[in-house]
Amino acid sequence: MRDLTIELENRPGALARLGEALGRAGISIEGGGVFVHNGTGVAHFLFADGIAARKALEAAGIHVVADREVIVQRLKQDEPGQLGKISRRMAQAGVNIEVMYSDHDHQLILVVDDLAEGRHVSDTWTRERS
């Protein structure tokens, strides 16, 4: 799974243009969100095929800022504090979480500054909870 960081104009129709470009290419968004920061639209969307998504967006003139692999983690939804616990584990390992959101399957999606160490923390977390 890949997280694409996408820059959007902060105006009506910008998100529609993005969605239409992906729709024409037959590409589904697996999770993510959009916000405005310093007057610019910033989207983080999750794709099964990041290469195809990037091509479709760039062909439509939409600026893809970054394409990054993600960590996918299933939290125990019925146990409060899960986000704090896994985030603390990442911090203790020196891993900075740069982006966090959920996918359409209620899984935690993390974009981190050290993918190898982040995966190690995530894999250890999963083994300990099994």
pLDDT digits (tens, 9 = 90+) for 29-88: 999 999 999 999 999 999 999 999 999 999 999 999 999 999 999 988 888 999 999 999
Q: Which of residues 19, 41, 69 is at a domain's end?
A: 69
Domain shared by 86 and 120, yes or no: yes
As a dihedral over the C-alpha atoms of residue 119, residue 123, residue 125, residue 128, rounded to 10 degrees, the angle is -160
Domain shared by 122 and 77, yes or no: yes
Domain range for 101: 71-129
Phi, psi of 110 (to 5 degrees): -125, 130
Domain shared by 19 and 51, yes or no: yes
CA distance 43 to 63: 11
* Residues in a beta bridge with 31: 46, 103
* C-alpha 80: how far from chain center: 22
CA distance 74 to 17: 32
pLDDT > 70 in the chain, percent: 100
Split into its structural domains, the chain has a count of: 2
List, edge to edge, every strand of the sheet that includes 31-37: 31-37, 40-47, 2-8, 63-69
**pLDDT value at residue 118:** 97
- For 53, residues 6+ apart whose C-beta sits below 8 A from its C-beta are 2, 4, 22, 25, 27, 45, 47
